[in-house]
Structure 1
Amino acid sequence: MYGAARPLALAAGYHSETMSCLDFEPASQGSGRISSRTLWRYFPSKESCVRPLLTGGLDLAMRCLRSWRAEQDVADLLDAMRWVADEGADDRAALLNLVRLTGSEPGLRAVWLEAHREAEPVFAAVLAERAGLPGPDLDIKVQAAMLNVALRTGVEHYAAHTDPAVAEQPGLLEATVGQALRAAARGFSHERPSTACCATSPPPPSCCSTT
């Protein structure tokens, strides 16, 4: 069923394809096609049909977040995300095509934003567990929101500002998303605080402050 999303993932195809003309050959059977009636049962619209392609990156990010230990920093999280990036390489072109279209397709934009909205409380729950809390408090919820926005904005910025001819090269998308995550980790500070400065107890008022 997931393969049905691929024809819609093409920039031109998304505008031209309809649910009634979508079909594909299931790998398990080798022949035969899934009817439009079956597709409608699972996907009421073509926007919902491509949702698995839009959420693949979120699923990978969630896996990395779950393995991110309390003693590790953002650099470790970024390393983990780079390690798993190859798993989504086959769908990268489709993802970027769809993200580019979210600017002109309200229905697709709604699916993209809803996917991130649904991911945010899950991020918060994982971050709370990482912090040893019974559930997300306000600080954790803000961290989850910043993480979520950084992931979404990083992908959107990359899709909008990178030449499609080179956009699928390994490591480029991950570098942009990493830059967005580091910006979120810094908060409102323009510079990353000095490790030596923050090690003092208590640290100087000018150090490690985000207010």
Structure 2
Amino acid sequence: MAGRAGGATGRPPLTERRRAETRMEIAEEAVRLFAAKGVAAVTADDIASASGVSTRTLWRYFRSKEECVRPLLTTGLELLTEHLREGRGEHASLAEAILGVRYDDDATPRLRTLGDLLLLCRDEPGLRAVWLEAHYDAEATFAAMIADRTGRPVGDLAVRVEAGVLNTAMRIAVEDWALRSDAAGPSLAETVRRALRMVDAVEKR
């Protein structure tokens, strides 16, 4: 019964949700420790202890201590992908579809933690590698969605270029938002939309 109910509502099973919550809790504690001590001074044991899990459990979820932050970097992309798939066919382009996505308020603790993490990525090569890998994976997802919308092969050069431009614009927008120290500046949502409008303007020239 529980399995059927989960399928009917589109929600993942409880164990899967709990696993995702645990991964996110580990990610948030990892960022807190990295920001306080520096990546080099933090061990996997430190992160596991702060997260309330065993080190063995931590290694079951992540390949390295730096990778512990990945859920913070990918959750937004995963939610965006889910939203775009649900609204398939409602917009002329993927960029236009993304413009209609609603974002959390910048004041939410998780977005503040994401901002802290992206600041760390500037000076920590291991964290920066995880961030770039997350976007490398996202680019393949965008390419698949563009191919599905246009009927072109996923390996088509035009599909890959469009996916790359879109992905890069979003990455730079999020980094720009995180690097700003002025709290009165544009929100994450406004920054992403501004970047995507730039992409849209270039495509229409």
Q: Is the 8 A contact 1:150 1:180 kept in 2?
A: yes
Cα-Cα RMSD: 2.7
Q: Secondary structure at the match of 1:116?
A: helix
Encode CA deviations 1:177-208: one digit per residue, 9 max, x unaligned: 111111122227xxxxxxxxxxxxxxxxxxx5
Change (3 A) 1:123 1:76: closer
Tell me the equivalent position of 2:98: 77
- Is 1:39 matched up with 2:63? no
Tell me the equivalent position of 1:12: 36
The counterpart of 2:78, out of the listed 54, 59, 63, is 59
- Is 1:173 matched up with 2:188? yes
CA distance in 1, matches of 2:65, 2:105: 24
The structural deviation recorded for 1:120 is 0.7
CA distance in 2, matches of 1:183, 1:114: 24
1:116-155 equivalence runs, <5 A = 116-155=135-174
- Is 1:21 matched up with 2:41? no
CA distance in 1, matches of 2:126, 2:90: 38
Encode CA deviations 1:48-84: one digit per residue, 9 max, x unaligned: 11100111221122223322426445455312x12xx
The number of aligned residues is 177
Structure 1: stretches of 5+ with no match in the other structure: 27-32, 189-207
Encode CA deviations 1:18-65: one digit per residue, 9 max, x unaligned: 211223698xxxxxx421122123223221111001112211222233
Change (3 A) 1:25 1:158: closer
Which TM-score applies when normalising by structure 1? 0.72
Structure 2: stretches of 5+ with no match in the other structure: 1-21
Q: Is the 8 A contact 1:23 1:34 kept in 2?
A: yes
CA distance in 2, matches of 1:68, 1:87: 25
Q: Is the 8 A contact 1:18 1:46 kept in 2?
A: yes
Q: Is the 8 A contact 1:70 1:130 kept in 2?
A: no
* Structure whose CA Rg is larger: 1
